[in-house]
Structure 1
């Protein structure tokens, strides 16, 4: 049963990836790289992208995504995000202003999904284990932020910065968390995208924390 569910989900996730691969080839790779703070190697036909500290290459015009060691990335959601980011990036640099999900256009509409998928998940995973949270971000080389019981600013993609903050629970209150996005994210992603970004980022932090 589980294998069939996973296969169905994989096929569903592949549909948007294939869609953006078809669009990707119609855009100028040099411009996409410039508009996202990435680099384009014309001879190799590759755009270099950094995702959660990992060096990745996006082949042009195919849209295939590979890790540093040459292994193709299998998970479709991060590959789809990367292609959307390259296609839609508008070259706006990060600022010192960070905003909540509700401040994103459409954020109120999708907030319940974002809350359950990202904020609540982050609280439950790390609210009772702040040291694991800190260790993960130390491995990422993230910047400490004066917020909550522990908070860090990190680079999700080139030019895209996020803050994760955690408050430990006590006898009166359960653990809680907050996720903030640099305001320039408005020029790269939609509210729906940001729910996926939160999900992917949390998954990466969990892996780092429990290695």
Structure 2
């Protein structure tokens, strides 16, 4: 993806390419490293089995034979951006550390070039939707499995994927005092072992879009 224009959202073709990387890996090893479930085929042979992966409060089945990712509750294929993140997560190969500090997006490797896009596609939409609606924000966070944290503002942590965590923070705005809201979104340190800079940007976009969709249900 070119950095002279905003990174594009992944397509089905992008997912297909990452699927090929995942198919080269040993199922049990991936499951252990990523904290997911691997279900081998019931009968030995050419079948490959599947992974069961939780993303926030939803569960997805990564079908290795049909090369599809299915939302198990909805019973339909997951959106390309969610499929891509799950596939990138499972196919990652860097070592896994134990350090779990919260880290701002621009402190991860090679993210500086994407800082303005992170503000445009993650922080600004977050502020537009929840900046003056803190109660709605807290309700949405709880509905998505968020845990309230004492880290400044209204802070909630989420298990985005089993070993990738996200922290959202909101300092509410006050229209009558002309005080604009402030938002922040961080990742756990270990996210760098699973995601590239562009993946982290996409994860932030997906997190906020899921929050926005949940807010519309209220």
TM-score, structure 2 normalization: 0.85
Does 2:56 align with 1:58?
A: no
Gaps of 5+ in 1: 1-8
**In the alignment, which residue of structure 2 is the partner of 1:34?**
32
**In the alignment, which residue of structure 1 is the partner of 2:165?**
161
Alignment check: 8 A CA contact 2:56 2:145 kept: no
Deviations 1:145-164 (A, max 9, x none): 12343110001111111100
DSSP-derived class of the 2:89 partner: helix
Alignment check: 8 A CA contact 1:127 1:167 kept: yes
The structure with the largest helix share of the pair is 1
Question: Larger deviation: 164-173 or 63-72?
Answer: 63-72
Shift of 1:61: 4.3
Hey, what's the Cα distance between the residues in 1 that align with 2:84 and 2:205?
Answer: 13
Hey, what's the Cα distance between the residues in 1 that align with 2:68 and 2:199?
Answer: 20
Residues 205, 70 of structure 1: alpha-carbon distance in 2 compared, 3 angstrom cutoff: closer
Hey, what's the Cα distance between the residues in 1 that align with 2:148 and 2:195?
Answer: 25
**In the alignment, which residue of structure 2 is the partner of 1:85?**
89
Match of 1:202 among 197, 208, 213: 208
TM-score, structure 1 normalization: 0.88
Shift of 1:165: 0.3
RMSD of aligned residue pairs (Cα, Å): 2.0
Shift of 1:101: 0.6
Shift of 1:70: 6.8
Hey, what's the Cα distance between the residues in 2 that align with 1:72 and 1:91?
Answer: 33
Residues 49, 89 of structure 1: alpha-carbon distance in 2 compared, 3 angstrom cutoff: farther
